[in-house]
Amino acid sequence: MKKSLLALFAFSLGAQQATFTTEARLVIVNLSAKDKSGKPILTLKKEDVEVYEDGVKQDIKVFELQKLDGESLAAISDSNPAQSKTIEEKVKAEPAKAYVEPAKNSPIKYQDRRLLCLLFDMTSMQPPEQVRAQEAAIKFLETQMTSNDLVEIMTFNSSIKVVEEFTADRERLITSLKKLTVGAGSDFADMAGTSADEGDDSGSFAADDTEFNIFNTDRKLSALEDAAKKLGAFPEKKALIYFSSGVGKTGVENQSQIKATTNAATRANVSFYPVDARGLVATPPGGDASTASARGTGMITGTRQAGLKTSFNNSQETLTTLASDTGGKAMLDTNDLTMGIRQAQEDINSYYIIGYSPKNSADDGKLRRIDVRLVNKTLSAKLDFRKAYYASKQFKNFNSSDKERQLEEALTLGDPVSELPLALEVDYFRVAKDRYSVPISVKIPGSAIGLHKKGAKQTAELDFVGQVRDAAGKLITGVKDNITVKLGEEDAAAIGRKHLQYDTVLTLAPGTYSLRFLARENSSGKMGTFETKFTIPDLSAEKTLRVSSVIWSNQREAMAAAVGAADTNKKLLAAHPLVQDGQKTVPSITRVFRKDQTMYVFFEVYDPGMDPDRKAPSLTAEVELIAGGRRAFTSAPMRQNKLVDKRPGVAQFNFQIPLAKLAAGQYISQVNVIDETGHKFAFPRNEIVLLAADNKTQASTSSTPRP
């Protein structure tokens, strides 16, 4: 919870400080000019070229020739260590001779260099495929690298990682490749090609993983977009060689992210060269031993085999789309994976880097068409350059696809977004021996919410999206909601002194998990993320008294009183562990109370000892408030001698504690629970803060971290 407190403080402080910003826009166009015989023309000057954007002539600011005519380096031999050392010393010296320092005050960093980035998608490749990709990259470095080449190595597991920056040191690159952990991230590879089994007509139920597959696909595409943006810092042409075992798809849901990825690559002057690390694959009818046997009549009718082939083709089609839309080439169905790297090497020949500041500075996200022309009409040359790019776009101009992509992109960023302060709490309640209902409660300061008049109500629209991963980083489940808040005039006027609270419920097995949660306010586009780790204990293995999370609350309200809802399904509401008789106990996430409030304490006890004669439990509980090491308050004991209807082995406790007679300050709140029949006990506790009744503004805007 400390992250939430710091985010709130930074938000408040930032509103009081003046901010100065400056912006410089430079569009980079890589121009390849060839004569009739296909040879590069290296004699063009700035005066020989004109650049137009949407028909308007632009002023050229940068014009540089990248001359790439390096020869292949000597092969590295591992059989003779002395010879290998001599060759490596020569290799390190050769690039220095061919290297030309860029002009001063030029954005060009690497003059006369070919930039090749090797990206290994560990989440889509099984261990044998990872080994094949690793060996192909090493083979290229040892035998096919030229004196003009600079190579960078990236990996994608849970996030993009730069293993080696651009360098010509082959020995260093090979050493880094050999250090890659084979098998890392391969757990995700099982989901990459998952699709509906068209041959399954057996009638048995199977969980629909479609939503997870969509997100897994977007996750890979988002990683490629991130890699392209990292390479965008260099204005030179870049080739990103993407080693993977295909990127699955499920339909039009992925088009927004594909478009965003290709747009980012185009802006960054990056061409994708996907390499299918599976090589040439012959799929046996019905699948191989890596998958379970097919069900139904699909094996007989052929629909099973057709479905497998379609799924395989779809995974390759995405690779082909990425390559064709960015000017690269996909290397599929070949066992010589180095061909993909050599293809990128051959495609990047000598070229010109042209830069201009666009005269149209509107942030409308529209397509801007580029045209490069030769001033000397008598000069015969074939020109190759990117034909267009998309302008940047402000949030107010986003359409639904843009907003959807932004949520997914923000959720996968390495750094949290703190524009919108959040506080979050995760609790657990047992619903079966190995299943727990997990309420997630999120609190947002009302002062951060923008309201708009709509009829007689003030409204605000909020998006919520979250991911839950296990200890190994594997995606387990997620949540996604869009809620419209509607407030009357009185509530709208007081929104700055109040909080909005969102809650949802997931079902999980015992284990340790991490949660990454994102909220976005859709009028301004402000977003906030919250990350936390939490553990759901296996209460069935506990020898002590089995107790759920303890909910400390200052509010109980009817479900009909909610200002916004994403789902009104009565069955879901009935299964909510914090809803009883149409009333919901709202957790006090920040643990801040006022003296004019009542504190509600709710928890459950599981599998208590049963009296053999009465066939009923004998449970006693009380709540204590401790300040300065001394007991300041003790509630009247509450006895529970019956279980919850329709929930075997579950007893519930509900306390209501008036706070008016207690002094303001910080307390330790402790629950003492005793199972008299089972001779067991538990003492869960937490910290709370009690404020004076007249300090309403402070009470409604404070954010106290959970201990």
For residues 281 and 73, what is the distance between their CA atoms, to the nearest angstrom?
A: 33
Phi then psi for residue 45, to 5 deg, are -120, 170
Return the pLDDT at 8.
30
Neighbouring residues of 571: CB distance < 8 A, sequence distance ≥ 6? none
* Strand boundaries in 350-495, DSSP class E: 351-356, 367-374, 382-384, 388-390, 423-426, 429-432, 435-445, 452-454, 457-470, 475-487
Return the pLDDT at 57.
94
Closest CA to 26 of 230, 237, 232: 232
Task: Write the burial class of residue 639 (CB in 10 Å: 0-12 exposed, 13-18 middle, 19+ buried).
Answer: exposed
Angle CA 349–352–358, to nearest 5: 140
Q: Under a CB-based contact definition with an 8 Å cutoff, are residues 221 and 282 in contact? A: no
What pLDDT, in 10s, does the model give residues 202-252? 333 333 344 444 456 767 888 898 899 899 888 888 999 999 988 876 544
Closest CA to 344 of 417, 209, 239: 239
What pLDDT, in 10s, does the model give residues 294-308? 555 666 666 667 767
Closest CA to 649 of 508, 555, 553, 547: 547
Q: Beta partners for 426?
A: 440
**Helix boundaries (H) for 474-616:** 489-493, 570-575
For residues 530 and 421, what is the distance between their CA atoms, to the nearest angstrom?
A: 9
Return the pLDDT at 582.
76
What are the structural domains of the chain? Answer: 68-194+207-349 (3.40.50.410), 416-541 (2.60.40.10), 545-707 (2.60.40.10)
**Tokens (6 digits) for 662:** 């207690």
**pTM to 2 decimals?**
0.55
Weakly modelled stretches of the chain, pLDDT under 70: 1-24, 70-71, 77-106, 185-216, 218, 249-256, 283, 285-304, 307, 412-418, 559-575, 693-707
**Tokens (6 digits) for 324:** 């064709």
The CB density around residue 8, as the number of other CB atoms within 10 Å, is: 22
